[in-house]
Amino acid sequence: MKTRVSIAMGAIIALGFNACTKMQAIQPHIKQITSAMDSTLKTQALLLGKWNVVSDTTYAGVNTGTNPAVYIGQAGDYFDFVADGHIYIKEGAILDTLSFKLASGRQIDINSFMPILNNQSATCQIGGINAKSLSIASPMLTPPAGPQQRIVSLSR
């Protein structure tokens, strides 16, 4: 009987040591996940609210770099990022509503950010976000008519 109890106790102790080893191996991954979550939450806190349009540049067609369509923001133009996942946009007389979701601290999924996407989501890059400035760049799309990309610069 003492032998069985001793074996059982030894097994429990061995399992306990093994569990600690596994936990130590997992901890770096937990720190990475926590750091990524903190980065995303920080970006979300900075992103939400109304931003003034500095410029909205669309590169389209074969000569993408030579003839971009550049819209320069005017007084009253804005991108308003709302906590419910919508972006309300006003550029001149044009009003638009898009939906968004932060993919990470540096990436944002925006539906119909480029007209060619037709309600599809594009994972855009967030560049240089701080309390006063923000830039969003769509991926470079390569349809048969030539490459297309949209880059928006915003300020507060």
**Dist CA 66 CA 60 (whole Å):** 10
Query: Check: CATH 1.10.10 for 45-155?
Result: no
Q: Provide DSSP, 31-98.
A: HHHHHHHHHHHHHHHHHSEEEEEEEEEEEESTTTTTS-EEEEP-TT-EEEE-TTSEEEEEETTEEEEE
Identify the residue whose tokens are 């939906």.
99
For 96, the token pair is: 């638009």
Domains of the chain, residue spans: 45-155
Spatial contact of 99 and 87, defined as CB atoms under 8 Å apart: yes
- Predicted TM-score (pTM) above 0.75: no
Q: What is the pLDDT of residue 99?
A: 93
pLDDT in tens, the chain (156 residues): 567 666 666 666 666 665 555 556 555 545 544 555 567 888 889 999 999 999 999 887 765 556 788 999 999 999 999 999 999 999 999 999 999 999 888 999 998 888 666 667 788 999 889 999 999 999 887 777 777 889 999 999
